[in-house]
Amino acid sequence: MRTVDRIALDGEGFVQLGVLYVEGTVKGRVTEPCRRCLAPVTRSSERFEAFEVRIPAGEEAVDLESPLLRLILSALDPNVLCREDCRGLCPVCGANLNEEPDHVCHPPKEDRRTLGELLR
């Protein structure tokens, strides 16, 4: 699960014909699981953006949280790793191979059959 905190926007904006035009630097910190071992990885994002948000009729304020979240998440690589040489999890028991480098893979069960054997 991803969590985003410390969202900040430093810039300018103006409203014209029911549209808020914003230009500035969007900053945020994202914590998400490593794609191999599921360990939490925290990364920061900072980028200059120009975007616009429609203001619903009759409203005097607009919530910028959703557009800012989209901008922050789109700036980051979706395939995050805790480290380049992450070994991941054991596919049989789920042991973290980074924490247990001498982990012995479990021998295959004797009663395993192939899909072809099961369909006969």
- Give the pLDDT band of residue 110 (cuts 50, 70, 90): low
Distance separating alpha carbons of residues 111 and 98, to the nearest angstrom:
30
Q: Which domain holds residue 41?
A: 3-86
The pair phi, psi for residue 30, each rounded to 5°, is -120, 135
| Same structural domain, 41 and 78 | yes
| Same structural domain, 63 and 117 | no
Tell me the HSE value of 47 on the side-chain side, using a 13 A CA sphere: 14
pLDDT in tens, 2-57: 888 888 899 999 999 889 999 999 988 999 999 999 999 999 888 899 999 999 88
pTM comes to: 0.67
| Same structural domain, 101 and 66 | no
| Same structural domain, 23 and 78 | yes
